[in-house]
Amino acid sequence: MTLILGVTASGKGRLAFRLAQQIDAEIISIDSMKVYRRMDIGTAKPPKEARAMLKYHLIDIIEPGDSFNVGLFLEHSSSAIKQIKRRNLPIVAVGGTALYIKALLYGLFEGPGTDEKIRNQLQQRAEAEGLKQLYRQLETVDSIAAQRIHPNDAKRIIRALEVYELTGKPISALQQQWKHDAGNDWTIIGLRSDKAEANRRINSRVKKMVAAGLIDEVKSLLAEDKPLSKQAQCAIGYAEIIDYLNGKTSLEDATELIKKNTRRLAKNQRTWFKTFKNINWLALNPEEQPEKTLTRIMALLNNINPDLADESSTSDTNLIA
């Protein structure tokens, strides 16, 4: 099984497609937002042409009004892995949701139980003082968790503070106790590029998303009978456009904020990835053609596990740009 990870907009999705096509594999998406139906542009889902050519799992599996979490991800991913193995096909997993990747590799951190009194008090404070105040508190008691959690993610901010109140320890420290290690079942390939190049790709992607109809997509979602779940509302790209549509900001400022928040996400992903073991890092050259990158991937896989590699040339592979 091969897992490709990288920061947002690193090109990992297109590379996963090319690799899966080359080795006749099925793809498992590791993305907390691609699970939502009709949230297409803002989540940068694979194009319909790609999904018609290859089997993808964990994309478009729930409604935008429903919640999704790491536990559900593990249930769906475990089922997908079993299905693919029954078909005796290779597996290519790809994504950047670090918490989900860590759970897949090392098991699920359960954490302490919940305390409704503490949770209600935190929720009341969020309503009275504003979520930013709770986020500042989180930065004080658990700066590592604060780096990983978006300032608008009320659920995770409250949970992190709840854990601190219950245990007196940061949730980031407790998460180091994950013991199960399924990482040996995976060949992990990490895509790495210069930060300046990564930021350029992020800014370019955001611009293309807006041009492709992100505003209309958000309008359509808000018009649905069932309101968007809190998780969907907090998704980068959607939260900012919702504020624009509600008259809280200009489109220009909303677009710039999407870029800023996406760059912050990439920084958080890098922090998470440093905690993962046995990653085969692949430095990306922005001038390199996709076929050359695929050749390097195949050579790496062949070196690690000859059974995964195909000695045929990649030049005839039908590639999606």
DSSP 18-53: HHHHHHT-EEEEE-TTTTBTT--TTTTPPPHHHHHH
Rounded CA separation 103/109 (Å): 7
Domains recognised in the chain with CATH numbers: 2-108+178-316 (3.40.50.300), 116-176 (1.10.20.140)
What percentage of the chain carries pLDDT values higher than 70? 90
Mean pLDDT of the 292-302 span: 90
pLDDT score recorded for residue 309: 42
Vertex 315 angle, CA 312 and 317, to 5°: 80
Fill in the amino acid letter for 136: R
In whole angstroms, give the CA distance from residue 120 to residue 158.
Answer: 9
Task: List alpha helices for the chain, DSSP H.
Answer: 12-23, 48-53, 70-86, 98-106, 116-129, 131-141, 143-148, 154-167, 171-174, 195-212, 214-222, 230-234, 238-245, 251-273, 290-304
Q: Kindly report, residue by residue over 95-111, the tens digit of the pLDDT.
A: 999 989 988 988 766 56
**Please, are residues 185 and 91 in contact by the beta-carbon 8 Å criterion?**
no
Nearest to 156 by CA among 79, 217, 230: 230
63-99 pLDDT, tens digit per residue, is 999 989 888 999 999 999 999 999 999 999 999 999 8
| pTM of the predicted structure, to 2 decimals | 0.77
